[in-house]
Structure 1
Amino acid sequence: VEVHDRDPAPPGDLAHPGSMPDPWQEDGRGLLLISTLSSACGHRPTERGKAVWFTLPAV
Structure 2
Amino acid sequence: MWWDAHGFGRAPRQRVVVAVDDSTRQVVGVHVVHSYPHRREIGHIHDTAVLAAHRGHGLGRR
Q: What's the TM-score once normalised by structure 2's chain length?
A: 0.25
Normalized per residue, which structure has more strand? 2
Using CA pairs below 8 Å that are at least 6 residues apart, which structure has the higher relative contact order? 1
The structure having more radius of gyration, on CA atoms, is 2
